[in-house]
Chains A and B, each alone.
Chain A
């Protein structure tokens, strides 16, 4: 079941030997309604990955709270590096989450086949990750995350490494899957065009220590026109915000 996500006053400090403690997030608030896509944009090193890692429970925040509606709600994460297990076939990779949560075998197989069909991977079910193209690997990583039906899906620059054609097809593909399932998605990127195209909202992060600089509501029907005037206006607005931010830190 898709859950909503509420983050309040999140603070994360990294302590490293021999250097000053580094405050990456400070007083970060975020609301993600159930079934919405929220894009998060920020410059390199602004703390986007750190934010997702805090939500996923891979880092312990120093203060603040991360709450999800629904009890025992799980998160799923598509890592920037994907993290497909190279010794597992595509089928076995997609089934991984369901193996861990104890889904019965028959059901598991059924879900895996559904994903293979929907993702156009039917011919590659028994291939190993090394035999796939970058775009296909991306799909497998997304399928692996979606298969156990997590309450919140976190995506960390999932399409950063793809060429623009593959990226565009991944965009429409992701939206197609989302339109059917209505997952709650937190989508991190530093590509403003992508953020506006995908998100119901776009959250702009400040430089370290990161908080929310601005939240924009993208109230445009899908499919959107990436280079249409509305999208362009939003992009210009976000760019201005970021430019002002950079000028401010100097």
Chain B
């Protein structure tokens, strides 16, 4: 943690030094000090004025939570089914492998057509980003459970349900958690694109950045990117802690 902060400090110093030395022209990239000032402005004055940074962040977090939550809710059962049944896998895998490489961005026109501008289409795009990592890691988690663990339960007289509850689910857990982490990260990455589809009440980090761009406030654009990065970092850090706790046995 401390070491991480030091690395950031060093990187910021380098960045500032480059800007001061004029290696990077100011109109192409604001310096850290300017970015910091812009962050301050975003936090207290807002962009557009009155729309403060923390409200943007909360709205974005809400969308990402809904999208990722949906992806987890639907992706884990689908992944479990895929991992457990080779027959189902052979039917569904081609379809999944076909849909997976289509970037969420490409879905924007359809999303707007289906769900209209606003919350639902944003959530749908985030869902698309998070869904496949969750499905695939859950599937490989189930498939990677050792045969001897399942057989140990069978010899002890376990039925199907007990085998699921006591072996397949806990055995797939590490993989599932990795999938959720990756999915959430990608969901967060999809955010700016998702908020292209319009936001209710004019809130959202992506919306904020696009606004700053329209006003040619490159410092606030970068400040918005920094904010997205920081929140993503915090989420990853939190999830890593949770999964370390849950996976003490590994």
Contacts and interface: CB of A to CB of B under 8 A. Distances in A.
B173 interface: yes
A214 interface: no
A79 B250 CA distance: 21
Contact of A101 (B153, B157, B170, B249): B157
Interface string A88-119: 10000000110111000000000000000000
Interface stretch (B37-45, B129-137, B143-151, B237-245): B143-151
Nearest to A55: B155
Interface string B7-32: 00000000000000000000000000
B167 interface: yes
A188 interface: no
Interface residues of B, number: 20
Contacts of B173: 87
Interface stretch (A69-77, A170-178, A218-226, A239-247): A69-77
Contacts of A85: 149, 152, 166-167, 170
Chain A, interface size category, equals 20 to 34
B172 to A, nearest CB: 11
A218 B224 CA distance: 81
B194 to A, nearest CB: 36
B202 interface: no
A46 B232 CA distance: 57
A80 B248 CA distance: 25
23 contacts: A57-B155, A58-B154, A75-B155, A76-B155, A77-B155, A79-B148, A81-B148, A82-B148, A83-B152, A85-B149, A85-B152, A85-B170, A86-B249, A86-B250, A87-B170, A87-B171, A88-B249, A99-B166, A100-B153, A100-B156, A100-B157, A101-B157, A128-B248
